[in-house]
Structure 1
């Protein structure tokens, strides 16, 4: 997949998870067009919620070749034309204003604005890891880790969920460099239906 298309999907993870229902037409079309394999369809459909199904689909698509993005847009055409139109605008270079119409606003997090663009310390990541519950996989998938990365975190730290989460957060921080900001973490918390204000003390 083209890096630009990969970035469009990543930047729109939250609104896609909120607006898109991937069962039936979307997944079946992608399978019919040989963009998804049968085992990938089964893996996506085995997820317990629509949000997790959408996240898993978005994590698989970038590895499915140059036709994956255009196939995804075609799959949206019948039932989700407004999503398709906004993604097309972003693909054609419509600009940040166009992408904002699909992405919801971040809202008030309760965290001072000057901290939002800072890179979280390992101490802050450890505090976050200690507070995340069963949503941790959603958060890390949204941050860009792959299902294989999550498996490695679980395998390396089988006795402690906190250590698994911390390992994933450290992996994200090391791979993203200056892009690994508090603001980016808050967006992923929202994807998992966690209000950022619940974690205000982690970052302040």
Structure 2
């Protein structure tokens, strides 16, 4: 999925989860178009509430290939106001891809705390490996994080972030983290949220 599309979905994640009913037409169309597998449809449908179903779908979509976003927009025929808003924001030159990080220099120069890293680990989606590799972790380090924490992606991501901070020392700053997040296509608001 295009980084701008991924960032747009992340930016409107909570808003979308409150407005969309994914079980009726959205999930069936995405399955029909071979964007979602049968197992992924079951994973979405097994969620307890509609909001959770939508959030699960938004977690899966960025990894479903270059057609995923366009198919998702087509699936919003019953939610035309949502589709129109997303399309309008994509056409606006100050969309999510060009948004700047709005943090004071003092915060950017800090080394992130365990709490900040944990909150960030819970918000990173499929981009977490790209972020950790950009931060300097090797493929072997990533494999170790995954294998040591097979049952929890959050724990694997957190282990990688803590390892980066330990190895980087005083150079492991919020600013360096922001740069890696940007390189991986993660919207700047994600880091702003975890620092609040």
TM over 0.5: yes
Given that 1:117 and 1:181 are in contact with CA atoms closer than 8 Å, whether structure 2 keeps it comes out as no
Extract structure 1 runs of 4+ deviating beyond 6 A. Answer: 158-162
Assess, with a 3 A threshold, how the Cα gap between structure 1 residues 129 and 11 changes in structure 2: closer, same or farther.
closer
Q: Indicate the residue corresponding to 1:140 in structure 2.
A: 124
* Residue segments in structure 1 that go unaligned for 5+ positions in a row: 100-112, 190-195
| TM-score, normalised with respect to structure 2 | 0.59
Q: Cα RMSD between the aligned structures?
A: 4.4
Over residues 141-162 of structure 1, what are the superposed CA-to-partner deviations in whole Å (9 max), with x where a residue is unaligned? Answer: 3x9448xx9xx85752479999
Change (3 A) 1:34 1:156: same
Counterpart among 179, 188, 191 of residue 185 in structure 1:
191
**Alpha-carbon deviations, 1:3-25, whole Å to 9, x = none?**
33233223322322333232222
Change (3 A) 1:51 1:165: farther
Distance, in Å, in 2 between the alignment partners of 1:84 and 1:181 is 20
The aligned length equals 165
- Structure 2 segments unaligned to the other structure (5+ residues): 97-102, 133-143, 165-175
Aligned twin of 1:96: 94
In terms of fraction of residues, the more helix-rich structure is 2
Q: In structure 1, how many angstroms separate the alpha carbons of the residues matched to 2:110 and 2:53? A: 29
Encode CA deviations 1:78-125: one digit per residue, 9 max, x unaligned.
1x211100111133x22338x7xxxxxxxxxxxxx6379726624x1x
| TM-score normalised by the chain length of structure 1 | 0.57
Matched, 1:68 2:68: yes
